[in-house]
């Protein structure tokens, strides 16, 4: 099969073909295209480096190091900071330890306060921006266009609106249950 057309013809003929063995079992053939049609040959010679890691001095030394139990993993100073074995310390050492812990806590609190203050400023600016955009949207929705304003002036010049609206006193609509009495 030297030509690509031969490969396609082979695939069409054998893909999905049922093969039967001597016991009567059926097997369906699946033909797939491989990027490289060459099948690798088994290597005839052995690798000379195979199995040599157990003879390597660096590897054997590494195995010895990790096999040892951990000695004094946390130092005595770290143990004291963690609150372990404080009974062996003198009063002066306890005071020094207390001062170191207080300085660390103060530094931590200061950093946290700065972070919280920065977050607060950021949130305030976001809230102000949101309020401003809402106000602008509200004003745009409630603004009167030039044509509407001209129509309002035209109606006002013809006394279309009640005097209460123009003067700003009271409401524009009278209540039916209240009687208005004019004197004069």
Has residue 113 been placed in a domain? yes
Residue after which a domain boundary falls, among 101, 120, 139:
139
Domain presence at residue 101: yes
> Which CA distances in Å does 177 have to 13, 73, 164, 169?
99, 92, 18, 19
Percent of residues, the chain, with pLDDT higher than 70: 68
Residue 98 lies in a domain: yes
Would 130 be classed as within a structural domain? yes
pLDDT tens track for 116-131? 999 999 998 888 888 8
How far apart are the C-alpha atoms of 52 and 70, rounded to whole Å? 29
Residue 182: is its pLDDT beyond 90? no
pLDDT tens digits along 132-144: 888 888 777 776 6
Domain that holds residue 21: 1-35
Does some domain include residue 150? no
Assigned domain for 60 exists? no
Measured in Å, how far apart are the chain's first and last C-alpha atoms? 121
In a domain, 144, yes or no: no
Residue 83 has pLDDT above 80, yes or no: no
Residue 80 burial class via C-beta count within 10 angstroms: exposed 0-12, middle 13-18, buried 19 and up: buried
| Residue 74 counted as domain residue | no
Which position has the higher pLDDT, 102 or 70? 102
CA distance 54 to 61: 11
**Number of structural domains the chain divides into:** 2
């Amino acid at each position: 099969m030297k030509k690509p057309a031969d490969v396609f013809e082979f695939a069409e003929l054998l893909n999905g073909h049922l093969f039967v063995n001597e016991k009567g079992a059926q097997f369906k053939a699946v033909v797939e295209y491989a990027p490289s049609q060459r099948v690798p040959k088994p290597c005839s010679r052995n690798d000379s480096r195979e199995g040599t890691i157990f003879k390597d001095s660096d590897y054997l030394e590494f195995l010895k190091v990790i096999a040892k139990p951990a000695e004094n993993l946390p130092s005595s100073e770290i143990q004291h900071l963690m609150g372990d074995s404080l009974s062996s310390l003198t009063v002066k050492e306890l005071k020094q330890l207390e001062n170191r812990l207080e300085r660390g806590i103060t530094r931590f609190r200061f950093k946290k306060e700065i972070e919280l203050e920065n977050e607060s400023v950021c949130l305030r600016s976001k809230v102000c921006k949101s309020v401003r955009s809402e106000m602008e949207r509200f004003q745009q929705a409630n603004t009167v266009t030039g044509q509407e304003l001209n129509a309002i002036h035209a109606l006002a010049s013809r006394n279309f609106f009640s005097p209460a609206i123009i003067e700003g006193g009271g409401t524009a609509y009278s209540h039916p249950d209240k009687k208005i009495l004019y004197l004069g």
